Structures are given as C-alpha cells and as structure tokens.
Structure 1
Amino acid sequence: MTSVPTAAPSYSAERQHAVAQALRAVLPAGCVLAALEDTKPYECDGLSAYRQVPMVVALPQDEAQVLAVLAVCRELAVPIVPRGAGTGLSGGAMPIADGVVLSTAKLNRIVRLDATSRTAVVQPGVRNLAISEAAAPYGLYYAPDPSSQIACTIGGNVAENSGGVHCLKYGLTVHNVLRVRVATIEGDIIELGSEAPDAPGLDLLSVFIGSEGMLGIVTEVTVKLVPKPACARVIMASFGDVVTAGNAVAHVIAAGIIPAGLEMMDQTSVRMVEPFVKAGYDQDAAAILLCEADGTFDEVEDEIARMTAVLQAAGAGAIAVSTSEAERLRFWSGRKNAFPAAGRISPDYYCMDGTIPRKNLAQVLTGIAQMEVKYGLRCANVFHAGDGNLHPLILFDANQPDELQRAEAFGAEILALCVAVGGTITGEHGVGIEKIDSMCVQFQPAELAAFFAVKGAFDPVALLNPDKAIPTLHRCAEFGRMRVTGGVLPHAGLPRF
C-alpha cells in the first residue's frame, strides 16, 4: 500500500542516545538498533498507510532480556510497542515516535513438542506454520491458519487472536492456546491458563489473547495440536449473485453442517486471483463458495454429499469437488493469495475486518455494493463466510487526490454497517490505530471505562502500546462531532477530557 509520509521524530538526539545506551547495557551486541537505516524497516506493520520510525528497536533473545528491556523503559518512562513479524493489518505494531519497539523475533525456539499430550511449547517468535511443520512427523498440526501463516508468529497471533480459513471448525487462537507466559511492565513473570483442562481463578487467558500488546509481553506459549485428518476435500460452488451465495452460507450451517472451512469470494476477487494462482476458479460466477470437509474417508464422503445437496438447493449454478490433495490445495491457494493478488489490479488496497451474523451476509454485501458507487471505489469481497468474518479489499490509488481518504471513509462505513446489524468492528485483525475511531461507534462510555480499568490493572504506568485499540472519551467526543448523521451525534453527551 502506498503510504502517507513517515511522521517526523519527536525526540531529541540526547534522549535517543540515553535510551539506546541503557538498553545496550542489558542486551547483547547488535540487539539495539538506533541508526535510521536500521530502525526504518520497523516503521509500520502490514497497514503501511501509517508510518512512524521508532526511536530505538530492542531485540531481546530470551525472557530475562525481555524483563531487562521492560525495566529500562519503566525507569526512563519510555513507551513500548511489542512487535512480532509485522504482518498485522491494523497498525497495532506501528511505533510510538519517542518509544521503543520490542521485537520478539529472536525468541524463535520450539521449546518442547509432546505428541502424547498433543501440545507444543513455543517462544513468541516461532512462525505459525513452523509449529505444524514440527508436528507433522507425529501426524499432528496447529489448526489456526491465517493467510500469512508462512511468516506470522505465534506471539502476534496471540496479540490479535488470529484465525484463518479453518477457524469455523477449529476455532481462533483463543480456542487453541492453553497457556501463555507473560512479562509484565512491573517486572514480573505470570502464567495465564494451564495445560490442565482448566486453570484456577479468573479466566485471564481469554482476556490477554487479543489484547494487542497492551497488557504484557508474551515470552512463551503452549498450544494445542490436533490430529491431521485422514482425508479432506473441497467443494467449489458457483453462484449467479452474491445475495444467493450469502444465503447459501446460512443454509449450510442451518443444516447442521460445520465445514472445516467455508469461504466466499466475489467475482472481483476471483478475477484478480485466478490469473495469479490458476486455482481453477469459475470466473463467470458472481461469487464462489469454498466448502471443505475433513475427517475419515467415510465422514468426508458423507459431508460432501450433504453439502452438495444443500448448495444445489440454495441455488448453486455449478459445483466442482476436489479429486486429489493437489487440487484441494490449489483451490485454497487462490483464497490464501487474495491479498497479494490485489496488487495485480490496483496500486493499493485497504483490507477491512468486520464480523456480522451469518444471516445478514446478503444485506451487508448489498450495502457494500452501494458504497462502491457512493465512494467511487471498487471492493473485492473475500472472507470467512462461515463465521461471518468479512475481509473487504477496498481498491484505490494513493497517488490520486483524496482516494486514500475515500478508502478510509468507505472502510469506516462498512464497519458501522457491521455494528448496525449486530456484528463487531473486528474479527481477527485487531483494532490498533486503524479502527480506533470505529470503537466509538461500537462501545459506550461505561464499556470503554471498563476496558481502561483492565488496561490499568496490567499496565498502571500506561507504557505498553499506548494510544492503541481503546479510544479515550475525549477522542470519541471529537469523533462524534465529526460524524453528524441526521442531526444526531454518536455519544454526544460524552465529557471532553
């Protein structure tokens, strides 16, 4: 994505030198970066429209060094932005101008893999796909599979509660992590969750997962591994319009079928992906559904037959079923490469992430089509249809006047529509800085105050990823004043502080 100019630094050379020297005293040589040529690669995550070169980057190599970095930053009152692989799409890892980026890239060891208990203990810098690769000789794998799984790390997955194309049946990160080991801003190591079926006390594990680096630094994660299915096959169903395809998703779930994956792509996304990947997609269809069944051979045959019948009854114009593992992977390759393929047809794209009730898929897709006309921009819809997690790709050219601003307004209106139909502004990408104003649309002052109370309990000095994810009431008041609709201001009564 073409970006706006990188924000200028707001720190003095003396401050940068003092922080860098303090960190060099506790980290090995080469693990503290302060020169512009070294820190500039950390200026953004996958949301490259917003950039800020960090003052310093710290690269601890173990848990003790993480604690040492936190101690230095606490002593010098330096904000800290945790960073995994930088594949996030909401600006959650964008640096603070006068802060430190704490990268967990060097904590990349698989500590233990236990095939008997079907668990793996890994450091936060381990790649998502690397867990499955290590577990493969035991017939096991790690189920959450974001499109970026070849590069994204488990620490980042925990921060964003990542999902993937198989999240409908196997769940998000929160459903597949048993325990996390966390370094707190106050210098303690705490463990949330347990390898046992339950853990004593409050369920803080589910509070921590998805907290976007605002509550602590992950130093170790225990994940569940699941047996690799004996067989898996994919149906590709074509539809003449997106409304019928959206309704078909609801019919599949209503029939009591929980596919391993249930994804939807509209014609725009199919036509941008097919020349890139050659997945065998029907480019004449207005929309396609990819529906996967996995399990034993008999289970898969039965589920494929049941899903085929439901899809035909729901209006599918054509149905193709994978006949080999190579063909199954090819079908999925198109879906997983939708984001990079967008670059073939547009200089820039803005990937949104909202979640809605499945029954409202057709309504929201119709609304997005109307917004395309309103904003004069194309949108390729590709998403986890089974659990209502939308990923509209708004296509634009940042070199054209106002197109970035129109894309942002387009995205904000999609999220407002998601909220209006009973959904939420994010499913797996997080809030970061991208959706912080949309939080004002979704949540009331009392709810925001509760979020800040949780933040304060973990981070009383407010140094961990500040100004991300949770908007202040002052910000919401200002946002409301900018968004007058029918004479009504969102949260018009909020105090300005």
Structure 2
Amino acid sequence: MEMPAPNPKVLSLKARLVERLHQVLPADAVIHEEAETRAYECDALTAYKCPPLCAVLPSSTQEVSDVLRICHDMGVPVVPRGAGTSLAGGALPTADSVILGVARMNEVLETDYDNRFVRVQTGRTNLSVTGAVEADGFFYAPDPSSQLACAIAGNIAMNSGGAHCLKYGVTTNNLLGVTMVMMDGTVVEIGGAHMDAGGYDLLGLICGSEGQLGVVTEATLRILPKPEGARPVLMGYDSNEVAGQVVSDIIKAGVLPVAIEFMDRPCIRATEAFAKAGYPDCEALLIVEVEGSDAEIDEQLGLITQIARKHNPVELRESTSAEESARIWLGRKSAFGAMGQINDYMCLDGTIPVSQLPYVLRRIGEMSREYGLDVGNVFHAGDGNMHPLILFDANKPGDLELCEAFGADILRLCVEVGGCLTGEHGVGIEKRDLMVDQFAPDDLDIQMAVKDVFDPKWLLNPAKVFPLAASEARRAA
C-alpha cells in the first residue's frame, strides 16, 4: 500500500516544531524520540507501518487547538488518533506527520438522565460510556467488537456500529453534538444536547469523515434506558448459504431482532477454543437476540425459531440464563482476537443487501479457493455488514499482496450486488484506491471539494479516503 513520500521541508522543521509544541503542552505530552514514536507507527491494520515525525497527547480542547494552530502555521500534516483500533489504517501516520492522540481526554463532562444524554471527551472508550451510566439504568447503544478499547473519537470518525446496530443504529443515530477543532485551531460547536434541524446537517457530515475535516474533542451522546430483558438464540446450520438464507427470511418476515450475527466454521472453532462460549459444532452459526418483556421475547423468538426450523438447523438453542447469554456474546466479541491467534489477517467490512447473503458467501468461498487463502466469516448479518477475515502469512513474500488483491475482489463484489465498500471501519488507506469502483469522478470531486473548505491545505489525515494520486494533486494545488 503506497504512502506519499515525506516532505523534506517538513522533516527539516522537526526541532523547531518540537520546541513550539513544548510551549503549549506538558513535557510528557510531546513524544519525539524515534524509539518512542514507534508506538504510533500503525493502528490495528498492522500490515502497514510508518513512524510519525512525532506524537502529541493533549488533555483539553484548548491544547488540541494550540497544537493544530502550530502545525497549520508550519505546514505540518496531522493524523488524529483515538485508541488505534482502526482496521482500515485510518490512523496510519506519514513520516512527516504529527500523531494527535486523544487518549488522555477521557472524562465524562455532563450527564443528564432526564434528557437522556451524556457529554464526554472523545478519548473515552466506548464501553466506559455505558459504564458511567449503567448503575442508573442506562446504556450507550453502539457496540463495536472493539468496544473495550476503541475510543469515541474513532467511533465518530468512522461512524462505527456494532452487533446491536440493527435496532439502535450506528454512531450517527446516537450522536447529538460535537466540539470540533479545525485545522487552523478554530473551535466550533456543532449540534447540541437536543435535536438540531436548522441549516445544513453538519453533524451528519462530520460523523464518518475519518478525521479529515477536524478533530472532535467532545461529544454529546444519546443514552437509552436498559431494556427489560434480552435473550439470544443460537442457530447452527450445515452450510453458509443456508444460514444466509435464514437471515434473509427473518428480515423479509418483518421481524426486527436487536442483533443477527453470523460466524462460519473457522471462526466458530477458533472462538470456541479461545472463549469457551458453548457454540455448537456446525458449518455456520447465527446468534439472534431479541429484547423486551418475557412475553414480548417469547412472541418474537417464536416467529424467529419457526423460520429457523424450516431450514433444518443442526442445533437450535435459546439462552436460559444471564450467564449463558454473556458467554454467547463474549465469544462473538472475541472472534477477531481468536482468529488473530491462528494467523495474520485482513478484516474487510463491505456491505451488501441482505437478500444477497447466500450468493456473496458462496462467491467468497469460491474466491478463497482461487486465491489459495483461507477466509473466516464473522459479521453483522442483520444489516448485511460483511467482515471476511482473510488469513495470510506476513512473513511469506507476496502473501500480503495476494491478500490485498483478494480483498479488493471481495469489496468489488459487494459493490456489484448493490452494496458498498465499507459499513463501519471506514475507507482509511485500505479502500482508498477502490473508491473509483463505487463513485464516479464527479462524485469524488464533490467530496474532495468539501475537504477543500474545511482543510484547504489538506493537512488533516493525509493519504486516506481518496485515491492517492487525486489527494496528492489536491495537496499540491
């Protein structure tokens, strides 16, 4: 994956840059020794690495503003970083860039249960938002698999979802307002604690902009009362295609579970060995969860299991306790880590119409054999958000390039059947050169024109989202 060559002029400014950063930040918040900057050379897409010029760890919106103003004045690129959990290379630095990490900005600033919102600094982890309000009977709905580690900043940048987004929506559906710092250091407030319908939907524009329009330092998030109860059911099938058809039939029937998750045999085996979740021995597993009162749960699961039985499951089992439910979800949340113990992998996240699941799963299996690379499938089946995990050996010459080509073919397949390149991981560097497969040149020009307005020098998160040649030409203009 090609990255732009560093700007020699910027590299020559390092000593002066570090000096100026020390003027606005504590000594331990400026990291510039080469051995220390290597901690920021990649995110969770570890196949690609590049140490930054330096890294900074501000603790407030004012400090972020000061850093950005300095970098803007000196023409130094800035790569915002939440917790470094991006699977698309969204926080991969360039050699002439400053990593701006928000990990120290993790405070809860305001909680309002009457109006159902919480305001936090964006370095706070996803799960700890729920942790701050659950004792009072509330929760924050978006739940990415990395929710124990991922930061709200990254969730906003990539418009993250999670297993329960089928019912509750993704980040943009649960985001009420942000404090954002522009590249020149200007601080802006967008949205707020209540519905903000006046003027353009700038909040919708910022959510999912991958750190290319500004650095979000504070966020007002919608919180919801905990449901009365929830119950998952496990459905095992003897083929991926049959399981995919069950998902399509459930959605077609108008039933809306909280979540429908899919795992194939490689993921089931790895996860069971890793987390001991009690999964059945089958080719494909569905985890379908519903919530509400006991009566509501029984009614919904009755309809769902009726559909499931029509396809001859090898096992159909409802959870009978909170402990069993927790084990079931621990397994699903552990799937990526479990697969990572087997081999290196690249995780994709193209989306497709749910009706296309059987066909796409079959084609992925065929492509796996053609490329000679194994694939594990674990994904949010209810909304067609695929997560194929392509296994490869990073130490084997040519394997990474083969994996990249295989992944590109899967993502093109998603677009061909009416889906798109990314559902929640973002474009980052991973998919930037595939944007031409989804968008016409005029469409990309319009999107790049938006970045021109917010970041005229193209200093924020360079080499991401747009095809490299196009973005570099824009930077040079």
Shorter-chain-normalised TM-score: which range?
over 0.9
Deviation at 1:399, TM superposition (A): 1.4
SS across alignment from 1:354: coil
Q: Distance in 1 between matches of 2:331 and 2:26?
A: 43
SS of 1:288 mapped into structure 2: strand
Alpha-carbon shift at residue 193 of structure 1 (Å): 2.0
Change (3 A) 1:7 1:75: closer
Query: 1:187, CA displacement in angstroms?
Result: 2.5
TM-score (norm 2): 0.96
The Cα of 1:36 is off from its aligned counterpart by 1.1
| Map of 1:200 onto structure 2 | 198
Within the candidate set 289, 308, 324, 1:311 is matched to 308
Is residue 189 from structure 1 mapped to residue 187 from structure 2 by the alignment?
Answer: yes
Q: Does 1:405 align with 2:401?
A: yes
CA drift of 1:55 comes to 0.3
Give the drift of 1:317: 3.0
Aligned length: 473
- Residue 373 (structure 1) aligns with: 369
1:446 to 442, 445, 449: 442
1:178 aligns to what SS in structure 2?
A: strand
RMSD of the alignment, in Å?
2.0
State whether structure 2 residue 427 is matched by structure 1 residue 431.
Answer: yes
TM-score by length of 1: 0.92
Q: Tell which deviates more after alignment, 63-72 or 188-197.
A: 188-197
User: Aligned match of 2:299 in 302, 307, 310?
Assistant: 302
Distance 1:58 1:388, change over 3 A: same
Distance in 1 (CA, whole Å) between partners of 2:178 and 2:432 is: 26
Pairwise CA distance, 1:315: 3.5
Distance 1:349 1:472, change over 3 A: closer
Unaligned runs of 5+ in 1: 478-496
Distance 2:420 2:333 in 1: 23
Question: Which letter does structure 2 place at the counterpart of 1:209?
Answer: C
1:472 is displaced (CA, Å) by 5.4
Which residue matches 1:113? 111
Distance 2:416 2:290 in 1: 32
The answer to which of 144-153 and 310-319 deviates more is 310-319
1:170-203, Cα deviation, whole Å (9 max, x unpaired): 1100111111111111322222223222331101
Q: Is the 8 A contact 1:7 1:51 kept in 2?
A: no
Q: Match for 1:234: what amino acid? A: P
What pairs with 1:280-291 in structure 2 (closer than 5 Å)? 280-283=278-281, 285-291=282-288
1:236-264 C-alpha deviation (Å, 9 max, x unpaired): 00111111110110111111111111001
Per the alignment, in what secondary structure is the counterpart of residue 346 of structure 2?
Answer: strand
Partner Cα separation in structure 1 for residue 5 and residue 185 of structure 2: 31
Alpha-carbon separation, structure 1, partners of 2:160 and 2:462: 21
Q: 1:322 and 2:319 equivalent?
A: yes
Change (3 A) 1:6 1:434: closer
Residue 364 (structure 1) aligned to one of 356, 360, 366: 360
User: Are the aligned partners of 2:90 and 2:429 in contact in 1 as well (CA < 8 Å)?
Assistant: yes
Shift of 1:343: 2.8
Q: Percent same amino acid at aligned positions?
A: 46
Quote the offset at 1:5 in angstroms.
13
Query: Residues of 2 paired with 1:433 and 1:357: CA distance?
Result: 25
TM superposition outliers: structure 1 runs of 4+ over 3 Å? 4-14, 472-477
**1:384 partner letter:** H
What residue number does 2:98 align with? 100
Say whether the 8 Å CA contact 1:110–1:123 is kept in structure 2: yes
Letter in 2 for 1:221: A
Whether the 8 Å contact between 2:259 and 2:382 is mirrored in structure 1 is: yes
AA aligned to 1:336 is K
Matches within 5 A, 1:15-164: 15-164=13-162
Task: Note if contact 1:124-1:153 (Cα within 8 Å) is conserved in structure 2.
Answer: yes
Cα deviation, 1:213-239, whole Å, max 9, x if unaligned, reads 000010110000011111111010011
- Judged with a 3 Å threshold, the aligned counterparts in structure 2 of structure 1 residues 359 and 52 are, in CA distance, closer, same or farther, namely same
Change (3 A) 1:260 1:122: same
**Following TM superposition, by how much is the alpha carbon of 1:475 offset from its aligned partner in structure 2, in angstroms?**
8.2
Gaps of 5+ in 2: none
Q: Secondary structure at the match of 1:272?
A: helix
